[in-house]
Amino acid sequence: MRNVLLAVDGSNPSEQAAKFLARIPHFDPVKLTVVTVVQPRFVHSSYATNELIQKAYEQDRQNAEKMLAKIEPLFDGADVDIQCELLEGVVGESIVQKAKELNADLVVVGATGHSQISRMLLGSVSDFVATHAPCSVLVVRPELLPKPGSPLRVCLAYEGTGPCQAALEEFKECPWHGNTELHVVSIATCLNDLYSDTSFIQHYKDDLAKAQEQLEEVSDHVITHFLEDVHYGEGITRFTEANEMNLVVLGETPRSQFSRFLLGSTSQYVLRHVPCSVWITRNRMIKNLKQGTQEQSKVTANR
């Protein structure tokens, strides 16, 4: 959470994404790179295109510069080193490439459309970035952001696995004390006869208790929920809608460049079905695992 890339395009969703990012607290100084992408114009070759394209391009640049100037004041007073940059190229691909160049920890984008159909449509910039970015991604849907003075209601999907623990640790890097309600949700799929195995149920509840203990270090209001559903993504979606969550946080299993093109993962399902903002933790080393690896390396080196 020290190196953040915010992509804006002048739309209301991207402006709301910037405002939401500005309200997220942080312990350490943040290097924030704000980018907007100017995509080249293409005109039929029968026109005298040179002058036309140049004028359109210059207008796009001017609009982009004005937009970046509006974003900067949102972070006044925060411990943020902000830099603005104008990119050229295809929008989604340019954002992903910039995230790679910066070695960003988090990419923040706004999303349009909040109906059930529009959330499931493929091809949008936010969907492309969320699918292809090499790091964690926060997709902000402005329609269900909390109103001023209202608490931020967060659902953290947790099941004790490595990706879920990584999401928990990334979330803990922000001090959420104050006006935040944090709901930690564990979904058990297809339990049926397993309900008779009390040790199996207790395993879920023990994981939730451990998660709650960790999160109470950064949040004053942590509530755990143990639920049953036939599908993990559907369970998270139903809980989010029923309890009017503003943000869903979940971890994603590290994937190769090829596997990112495949559909069906939990993170993609949740992103396309929940009505609120989604924070996906990706390709992040778990702190405890990293520390254990470092300690093991020291032991090996001393032999």
* Over residues 166-194, mean pLDDT: 86
DSSP letter at 39? P
The rounded distance, in Å, linking the Cα atoms of 52 and 101 is 32
> Which CATH superfamily, name and number, covers 148-303?
HUPs (3.40.50.620)
Pick the range with the lowest mean pLDDT from 94-103, 167-176, 231-240, 262-271.
Answer: 262-271
pTM value is 0.84
Instruction: Read off the pLDDT band of 230 (50, 70, 90).
Output: confident
Task: Pinpoint the alpha helices (H) of the chain.
Answer: 12-23, 49-71, 91-102, 116-120, 125-132, 162-171, 198-215, 232-242, 266-273, 287-302
Sequence-distant (6+) residues with CB within 8 A of 296 are: none
Boundaries of every domain in the chain: 1-145, 148-303
Q: Per-residue pLDDT tens for 80-129?
A: 899 888 888 888 999 999 999 999 999 999 986 444 443 344 348 888 99
CA 25 to chain centre: 15
Using alpha carbons, select from 56, 32, 83, 280 the residue that is nearest to residue 164.
280
Whether residue 293 is predicted with pLDDT greater than 50 in this model: the reply is: no
**Confidence (pLDDT) at 256:** 54
Report d(CA 40, CA 52) in Å as an integer. Answer: 12
Q: Mapping DSSP to helix (H, G, I), strand (E, B) and coil, where does residue 61 land?
A: helix
- Do domains 1-145 and 148-303 share one topology? The answer is yes
- Answer whether residue 297 shows pLDDT above 70: no
- How far apart CA 256 and CA 259 sit, in angstroms, is 5
For 51-93, what is each residue's pLDDT tens digit?
766 777 777 778 778 877 888 888 888 888 998 888 888 889 9
- 17's tokens: 């994404």
The CATH classification of domain 1-145, taken from the options 3.40.50.620, 3.90.180.10, 3.40.50.1220, 3.40.640.10: 3.40.50.620
For Cα atoms 2, 125, 273, give the angle at the middle one, nearest 5 degrees. 90
